[in-house]
Structure 1
Amino acid sequence: MDYRDWEILKVLNSQKNISKAARLLFITQPALTNRLKNMQEELGVKIVTRESRGIHFTPEGEYLVHCADDILAQFNNIKEHVRNMSKTSGNEVAGTLKLGVSNFFANYELPHILKLFKDQYPHVEFKVITGWSKDVAHFIHNRDVHIGFVRGDYSDRGLKKHLLFEETISVMSREEIDMQDLPNLPRIDYSGDYLLNSLIDNWWTENYTQPPLISIEVDQVDTCKEMVINGLGYGIMSSRMLKDIKEFYKVDLTDQNGNPILRRTWMYYHQESMDWNVVKVFVNFIETLGLQKHLEK
């Protein structure tokens, strides 16, 4: 059996009718019938039975249909791999790049970066998976994606990484506030990733003996920001969230030595992925882009 045979089984399973399947496969009905006969002779089993309303798969046929999805997917992965490894240059770079991207990076930074890249390499396609940074770190570790953009240091010894940019973490309020009185002021809290929550919680325990006064809990940092802007309380978030927002009060968090508490965003990838031409070109593009300065413009 070859690739075309597996395609035939998949289409037959979806249509349950030989004439309809033949039209979708752009072959004649006799040719399709003959192909089925050859498959059955090769395997020594009956794959389908004909009925008045179409065809019915035998148990052996149903098993083959189940295998067809895996075999076709594997073939496409191999084809994509070879295509990505091809030694092309300039605008001829082609292939599909799988990216795992933290939610914030996907919303605020990635679209502009992909536009710049597509301007240079229009034949590259992207599949983007978003999630919490810890989930994206899991994607790249398991090789579900070629490259991961992660906020926070989810380091893995088997991965290469490149620092994209650093940002401070800040207390944000519509009105000026006394930081010593912060535990008594209403705070807008939100669901952040584990490392960010840890940074904020550690800073709090180092500076205050009582817990914060949580007045509102939301599930997204964007919602928190809008509530702070409307004067419903203060929030603690990364400085990049505060970009282009005017007329608000901001205090950067610092450690016990007065150094700013920084949150870093990294690009992670496996070194062997650089054998794929499209991965190598994209990684080099990001590294030479100078993302910190570029995004600050």
Structure 2
Amino acid sequence: MDEKDWVAIRVLYEERNISRAAERLYISQPALTYRLKNLEQQFGTSLFFKIRGGIEFTSEGLYLANYADEMIKKMQRTKDHILNMKNEVRGTLRLGVSSNFAQYKLPRILKRFSEKYPNVQFNVNTGWSTDIMNLLHSSSVQLGILRGNYNWYGIKTLIHKERLCLISKKEVDMTKLAELPFINYKTDSSLKGLIDGWWHDRFSEPPFVTMETDRQETCKEMVKNDLGIAILPEICLQPSDHLHTYQLTYKNGEPVVRNTWLMYDQDSLRLSIVKSFIEFLNDYSNTY
């Protein structure tokens, strides 16, 4: 097996469908099938079998998929350390970043970092913070930027705080929110728990939910068209939205705050590219 075989097996394991795997690998389906048959001949066993709508791995195939994933990670670590031996800030920085931070903050950060270190490339995965935690635990990324409170065995640094805000097209009476149409959106459990916790602290009845949207931006557009109220993190709001915003507080007067954390493993600091980005991000976070 070589690196191309490892990648082919991993992608096939993720997709469980030869056509979709071939598309992700940018090769033809016959070419992928030929490569897989060669692997089966090499190991003298079947690696998968066809099922309705795709394929399923045999026990031998599952073992090989785990092996391929491990070898890909070892190869990446080897490349990282060889580049690091040159004492230069260069190579590929692998980041896992919460979607909101990636949309509103990350592009400017990466632009400024690349201006300082032009020999650095970026491999960025974005998603809900729960997804980023999974990437961290599997060592698929070197650094994770997550929003909300998550347990992490490595190093965890607070880089940003923001308030949660109620938004409305018109002025509202904050004591009568339960009577107003409320617009929900899909989000991770951390933010949902924060919103639900504040609501239960303030009201004895649930919100009058009239819409369930798939994204925060869709939710905000509904509010901008006066179709209801919503609660969003401050990071999502711009002066150009022309909305009334009310920063949330609990009954005891404490603000409802959403934290953004930088998380990484202690061993990652051995890499100059990772260490340089951490230092850069910590300096940058003091300016916004």
TM-score when scaled to structure 2? Answer: 0.75
In structure 2, distance between residues paired with 1:146 and 1:256: 40
Preserved contact between residue 191 and residue 219 of structure 1 (Cα < 8 Å): yes
Matches within 5 A, 1:1-297: 6=2, 60-61=41-42, 70=68, 73=72, 76-88=75-87, 92-156=88-152, 158-289=153-284, 291=285, 293-294=287-288
What do the CA deviations read for 1:189-241 (whole angstroms, capped 9, x no partner)? Answer: 11121111111111111111111111111010010111111111111011121
Are residues 178 and 86 of structure 1, via their aligned partners in 2, closer, same or farther at CA, if it must alter by over 3 Å?
Answer: same
Q: Which amino acid aligns with 1:153?
A: N
In structure 2, distance between residues paired with 1:154 and 1:58: 40
Which structure 1 segments of 5+ residues have no match? 11-55
RMSD between aligned residues: 2.8
Preserved contact between residue 83 and residue 95 of structure 1 (Cα < 8 Å): no
Preserved contact between residue 164 and residue 234 of structure 2 (Cα < 8 Å): yes
In structure 1, distance between residues paired with 2:146 and 2:99: 9
What do the CA deviations read for 1:25-79 (whole angstroms, capped 9, x no partner)? Answer: xxxxxxxxxxxxxxxxxxxxxxxxxxxxxxx959643669x98x94984674254
Larger gyration radius, structure 1 or structure 2? 1
Preserved contact between residue 106 and residue 130 of structure 1 (Cα < 8 Å): yes
Q: CA deviation at 1:101?
A: 0.7
Are residues 141 and 189 of structure 1, via their aligned partners in 2, closer, same or farther at CA, if it must alter by over 3 Å?
Answer: same
Preserved contact between residue 202 and residue 250 of structure 2 (Cα < 8 Å): no
Preserved contact between residue 3 and residue 72 of structure 2 (Cα < 8 Å): no
Q: Which amino acid aligns with 2:42?
A: G
SS in 2 for 1:195: helix
Are residues 83 and 219 of structure 1, via their aligned partners in 2, closer, same or farther at CA, if it must alter by over 3 Å?
Answer: same
Q: Which moved more, 1:206-215 or 1:243-252?
A: 243-252
In structure 1, distance between residues paired with 2:4 and 2:278: 39
Q: CA deviation at 1:250?
A: 1.4
Identity %: 36
Q: CA deviation at 1:246?
A: 4.9
Are residues 195 and 103 of structure 1, via their aligned partners in 2, closer, same or farther at CA, if it must alter by over 3 Å?
Answer: same
Are residues 74 and 286 of structure 1, via their aligned partners in 2, closer, same or farther at CA, if it must alter by over 3 Å?
Answer: closer
Preserved contact between residue 183 and residue 211 of structure 1 (Cα < 8 Å): yes
Q: Please list every run of at least 4 consecutive aligned residues from structure 1 whose deviation after the TM superposition is greater than 3 angstroms.
A: 5-10, 56-64, 69-76
Preserved contact between residue 175 and residue 248 of structure 1 (Cα < 8 Å): yes
In structure 1, distance between residues paired with 2:162 and 2:120: 30
Are residues 136 and 187 of structure 1, via their aligned partners in 2, closer, same or farther at CA, if it must alter by over 3 Å?
Answer: same
SS in 1 for 2:108: helix
